[in-house]
Amino acid sequence: MMEVIPAIDLKDGRCVRLYQGDYDRETVFSDDPSRVALAWQQAGAGRIHVVDLDGAREGRPTNLDALAGILAAVSLPVQLGGGIRTHEDVGRVLGMGVQRAILGTAAVEDPEMVARLCGEFGPETVIVSVDARDGKVATRGWLEHTRTEAVDLLRRMSDLGVERFVYTDVSRDGTLTEPNFAAIEHLVKATGKRIIAAGGVSRVEHLARLAEVGVEGAIVGRALYTGDIDLKEALEAVRG
């Protein structure tokens, strides 16, 4: 069964959403991320996806107090991305209780380190985020753009031992439009790896279609906060 994973994006210790990754187009949804995390747990979530937006921009995890609050508030497994670029970063967040450390920029800039981390911590713990705009990978908090095709990065990481990926279409993220189904399906078929899709999920019907595409999970952010998607209803629909 496909996982429906609520997202908590942290900026300045608060729960926010950005529009297409633009740091100047921010909506604050809560000053208490731990309370938000607990609400998602009570609604039936099986996992929480946390993004350290400040960390992604600054190149190191920065919202650690807010992260600690979330980890203390819930008993769910938490996966964290944003600014995790060194061995020390991975060890630190795992030591705090994070179950999965998500690396994005490091996969482009230091792929051999990612391979070593997979070997040390295991492919269930270290996963790679492939963030793309117009099919090309974006790095450093989506502020820098590369010429690397998303599918090429995913294949390269697969060859190095990565088993699970988060794929985000940056142009859909936070827009309440719809996922880039064609790109997601292409990645699933081209690699056969476990992919968690993100970006643009705004209706329960989108989740049903993603399940048909064959992704392992779908991350839902803004639509949960605006009420466009009810988490309990979404979980029931996917189970059905």
**Residue 155 DSSP class:** H
CATH H superfamily, domain 3-239 = Aldolase class I (3.20.20.70)
Catalytic residue (one of 52, 54, 89, 131): 131
pTM of the model: 0.93
What span, in angstroms and rounded, lies between the C-alpha atoms of 104 and 126?
Answer: 11
Distance CA 8, CA 39 (A): 11
Report the chain's mean pLDDT, rounded to a whole number: 92
How do residues 199-240 score in pLDDT, each as one tens digit? 999 999 999 999 999 999 999 999 999 999 999 999 998 987
Q: Which residues of the chain have pLDDT under 70?
A: 141-144, 173-176
**Structure-token pair, residue 23:** 């740091």
Cα–Cα distances in Å, from 93 out to 23, 133, 172? 24, 28, 28
Answer whether 32's CB lies under 8 Å from 89's CB. no
In this structure, what DSSP letter does residue 234 have? Answer: H
pLDDT of residue 174: 63
Say what the pLDDT of residue 170 is.
79
Q: Which entry of 9, 54, 89, 173 is annotated as an active-site residue?
A: 9
- Residue 48 neighbours by CB distance under 10 Å: 26
Residue 9 annotated as catalytic: yes
- 131 catalytic residue (yes or no): yes
